[in-house]
Amino acid sequence: MPTLVRLLTILALVCGTIYGIMAALVYFVEPTRTEVTVPVTLPEVGEEAEPAATDGLSELRP
Protein backbone atom coordinates (compact mmCIF):
# COMPACT_ATOMS: atom_id res chain seq x y z
CA MET A 1 0.00 0.00 0.00
CA PRO A 2 2.80 2.53 0.69
CA THR A 3 4.13 1.93 -2.83
CA LEU A 4 0.73 2.82 -4.32
CA VAL A 5 0.52 6.00 -2.24
CA ARG A 6 4.05 6.96 -3.29
CA LEU A 7 3.22 6.33 -6.97
CA LEU A 8 0.01 8.36 -6.80
CA THR A 9 1.83 11.18 -4.99
CA ILE A 10 4.56 11.32 -7.63
CA LEU A 11 1.98 11.26 -10.44
CA ALA A 12 0.01 14.05 -8.75
CA LEU A 13 3.17 16.16 -8.41
CA VAL A 14 4.12 15.62 -12.05
CA CYS A 15 0.60 16.48 -13.24
CA GLY A 16 0.51 19.55 -10.99
CA THR A 17 3.87 20.71 -12.31
CA ILE A 18 2.75 20.32 -15.92
CA TYR A 19 -0.52 22.11 -15.17
CA GLY A 20 1.38 24.94 -13.46
CA ILE A 21 3.73 25.33 -16.43
CA MET A 22 0.77 25.49 -18.82
CA ALA A 23 -0.96 28.08 -16.64
CA ALA A 24 2.24 30.17 -16.52
CA LEU A 25 2.53 30.03 -20.31
CA VAL A 26 -1.05 31.23 -20.69
CA TYR A 27 -0.57 34.03 -18.21
CA PHE A 28 2.91 35.32 -19.11
CA VAL A 29 3.38 34.70 -22.85
CA GLU A 30 1.72 37.18 -25.20
CA PRO A 31 1.27 35.94 -28.79
CA THR A 32 2.31 38.17 -31.66
CA ARG A 33 -0.37 38.73 -34.28
CA THR A 34 0.77 39.23 -37.83
CA GLU A 35 -1.06 39.30 -41.13
CA VAL A 36 -0.16 36.39 -43.38
CA THR A 37 -0.48 36.65 -47.15
CA VAL A 38 -0.06 33.49 -49.18
CA PRO A 39 0.10 33.78 -52.97
CA VAL A 40 -2.03 31.19 -54.75
CA THR A 41 -1.30 30.36 -58.36
CA LEU A 42 -4.36 29.57 -60.43
CA PRO A 43 -4.14 27.07 -63.29
CA GLU A 44 -4.44 28.42 -66.80
CA VAL A 45 -7.81 27.87 -68.46
CA GLY A 46 -7.38 26.36 -71.90
CA GLU A 47 -9.74 25.98 -74.84
CA GLU A 48 -10.31 22.26 -74.18
CA ALA A 49 -11.02 22.65 -70.47
CA GLU A 50 -14.49 21.59 -69.31
CA PRO A 51 -16.07 21.94 -65.91
CA ALA A 52 -15.48 18.87 -63.77
CA ALA A 53 -19.17 18.72 -62.80
CA THR A 54 -20.30 17.75 -66.32
CA ASP A 55 -18.58 14.34 -66.23
CA GLY A 56 -21.03 11.55 -65.43
CA LEU A 57 -24.05 13.78 -64.86
CA SER A 58 -25.83 13.01 -68.13
CA GLU A 59 -27.82 10.13 -66.59
CA LEU A 60 -29.04 12.41 -63.79
CA ARG A 61 -30.49 15.03 -66.13
CA PRO A 62 -34.08 14.53 -67.40
The predicted-structure confidence for 4-47, as pLDDT tens digits, reads as follows: 999 999 999 999 999 999 999 999 999 899 999 999 988 777 66
CA distance 28 to 16: 18
- pLDDT surpassing 60 at residue 62: no
Q: Give ∠ CA 57-60-62 in degrees, rounded to 5.
A: 120
Own/partner pairs, 16-21, CB within 8 angstroms, 24+ separation: none
Alpha carbons 13 and 58: distance in angstroms, whole number: 66
pTM of the model: 0.49
Check residue 34 and give its pLDDT.
94
Of residues 2 and 46, more confidence is placed in 2
CA distance 15 to 21: 10
Residue 48 to residue 39: CA distance in whole angstroms: 26
